[in-house]
Structure 1
Amino acid sequence: MSNADTVITALRSGYERLADLVDKFDDETLAGQSAATEWDIAQVLSHLGSGAEIMTNTLQLAVDGKPPAAGDFNQSVWDRWNSSSRREQAEGFLEWNEKLLALFESLTEDQRDTIQIEFSWLPAPIDLATFARMRLSELTYHSWDVRSASDPAATLDAAAVPEMLQTDRDVSWITKPAELNGQAAVLTVVTTDPAEEFTLRLADPVTLEATKADESDGTLTLSAEAWLRLAAGRLGPDRTPESVELTGPISLDTLRSVFGGY
Structure 2
Amino acid sequence: MAKKQLSEMSFLDHLEELRWLLVRSTMAVLLIAIVTFFVSDYIFDVIIFGPTKADFITYRFFCDLSHQLGFADSICVSQTDMASFIIQNTEVEGQVNTLVWICITAGFILGFPYILWEIWKFISPALYEKEKKNAKRFIFFSSLLFFLGVLFGYFVVVPMSVNFFATFKISDVVKNQFSIASYIGMVKTSVIASGLFFELPIIIYFLTKLGLVTPSFLRKYWRYAVVIILIVSAIVTPPDVVSQVIVAVPMLIIYEISILISRIVYKNQNKKDEQTS
Category of TM-score, reference length = shorter chain = under 0.3
Comparing both chains, which one has the higher relative contact order based on Cα–Cα distances under 8 Å and sequence gaps of 6 or more? 2
TM-score by length of 2: 0.25
TM-score by length of 1: 0.26
Q: Which has the higher strand share?
A: 1
Q: Which has the higher helix share?
A: 2
